[in-house]
Amino acid sequence: MSMLERIKASLPSLAPAEQRVGKLVLLDPRAFANLPVSELSDRAHVSKPTVVRFCRSMGYDGLSDFKLKLAGSVSEGVPFIHRSVDSDDKVSDVMVKVIDNTVAAFLKYRNDASSFAYEKASEALAETYKQRKRIEFYGVGNSGIVAQDAQHKFFRLGVTSIAYSDGHMQVMSASTVGPGDCVVVISNSGRTRDLMDACDIARKNGATTIVITASGSPLASAGHLHLAADHPEGYDRYSPMVSRLLHLLMIDILATNVALCIGSAKLQPALKEMKNNLRSKRYA
């Protein structure tokens, strides 16, 4: 669902004054993204705080964040479409469709993602590092591969981390975490019972739980923090592709934020030493 589609669907649940702001967005999104708040409030016949309140009601940090995402969603460029691969497609057709689907999903996510959610998740992960506690990544199937990639990225930062893709191991490990630890649960569907069980156990034991999954799924409301991973992929026909790449991108964002929190003064010497020690493993 695009940004404008979400606004249209949310209108009935908003207060009358906020509905007027929403209708103004739908009437001319390009103009809304460029006009000052005073002009917007005049056109919608509401107060300036109401304009900001509408933006927050839609899940954005404020007017500036909303306008930035809105400008991106209506800008010219790669359209936000999902082109299904057909059985009679040539290799060149498949190549173009897969690449276009991925690029479109990434651009859509850039416009829809909540910077506030990332800020809170990054702070939780950085705090776990500072307390010398551990970060655990859980996922099964394709998401299990993403969990392994996450563990690889974070351990290179000097963070005590581990990844589990087996349901029994996840439950056992979740039983040993506690306050200060952080558990990141990754799921495409958000309906995997093993992951739900592990997330519940970790949360009950006092660990901070971060879930990366689709909005509206059972897992989305099971953790302390939710990073929404919504995409138009029809994974009933093919193995998840765009969702897996989107999850990898989300992990990259989190790892980059945590690296910035650690600071280059502490991180760069360790990474440099690691790189030097790996030189003997390569041919000259």
Please give the pLDDT value at position 78: 41
3-state SS class at 169: helix
Please give the pLDDT value at position 17: 94
Instruction: Please check whether residue 147 is in contact with residue 158, taking contact to mean a CB–CB distance below 8 angstroms.
Output: no
CA–CA gap between residue 74 and residue 7 (Å, rounded): 14
* Residue segments in the chain with a per-residue pLDDT below the cut of 70: 1, 74-85, 232-240
Please give the pLDDT value at position 94: 81
For 17-75, the pLDDT digits (tens) are: 999 999 999 888 888 988 999 999 999 999 999 999 999 999 888 898 898 888 777 65
The DSSP line for 79-104 is --------TT--HHHHHHHHHHHHHH
Output the average pLDDT for the chain. Answer: 88
pTM: 0.69
CA–CA gap between residue 254 and residue 260 (Å, rounded): 10
β-bridge mates for residue 213, sequence order: 228
DSSP H/E element including 211: strand 208-213
Please report how the helices 48-57 and 63-74 are oriented relative to each other, as an axis angle in degrees rounded to 10: 60
Please give the pLDDT value at position 256: 95
Please give the pLDDT value at position 82: 47
Distance of CA 27 to CAs 62, 84, 134, 159, 198, Å? 20, 30, 49, 48, 45
Distance of CA 275 to CAs 158, 279, 281, Å? 14, 7, 10
